[in-house]
Amino acid sequence: MTRIAVILFPGTNCEEETKRAVESVGMESDIVRWNARKGLEDYDGYILPGGFSYEDRVRAGVIAAQDRLMDTIREQAKSGKPVLGICNGAQVLIETGIVPGLEEKVEMALAPNINLKVGGFYCTWTYVKNEPGKNTNAFNRSLENNEIIPIPIAHGEGRFTTRDSALLEKLKQNKQVVFRYCDRESRTEEFPINPNNSLFNIAGICNPKGNVLAMMPHPERASWNSQIPLSYRTGKDSPARKIFQSMKEHIEEGSDGN
């Protein structure tokens, strides 16, 4: 059976919910400590869940990004295995440069939120839409183009941004923008639809191969309708779970995301 390693760093706090969501689509899952590296390469895929790794000292995700375990994750990603970073996990992937992955360096930042309510941690329900185009990546192949996903956010540093003015166009051309904040009618506008002033309403971006995704919203907290507020339900059965289902399909079909 397909096996997923859910990585536990000191300060991670979403590992159990993530494990449960993985198992709900028929995959096996183990919570693997950051210092238990033996056998890590035997897993079929990896998830870096949310929380506050190393207390988010310096800035969110930067210390975990320097952990030797991430060298193994990087190599496994190069072999085509899927890697999903959720919230703090997304911050770690951005800080390693694995995502966007266009060059061997950090190309983006997940900066502090900017909105009309708060200048830091912000927790709310929102919507994201699956961007049309590259539905061969490892995380949206079970979703329809422009499918709307009700999903919560809970972060203080989740604003995708960059000083490279040409980078966004490269991401668009490569179909690396996988999820964008929107409203129930698929409109992508400013706050509150864009909850943190993220560039281009970006909620999740992948590497060029499509097998590594950094996303700030929490799909593991929206994988059952009982988790979703009535006012946010779309009439479909918890579309966020399809992200984990897509990982399973990617692995079972042996696709490398190209």
d(CA 74, CA 240): 25
Cis ω for the linkage preceding 82 (within 30 of 0): no
**Under a CB-based contact definition with an 8 Å cutoff, are residues 242 and 116 in contact?**
no
DSSP per-residue string spanning 55-74: GG-SSTTHHHHTSTHHHHHH
Catalytic residue list: 87, 218, 220
Q: Is 237 exposed, middle or buried (0-12, 13-18, 19+ CB in 10 A)?
A: exposed
Nearest one of 49, 50, 1 to 25, comparing CA atoms: 1
Going from the C-alpha of 83 to that of each of 24, 87, 209, 242, 257, the distances in angstroms are 18, 13, 11, 15, 12
**120: which DSSP letter?**
S
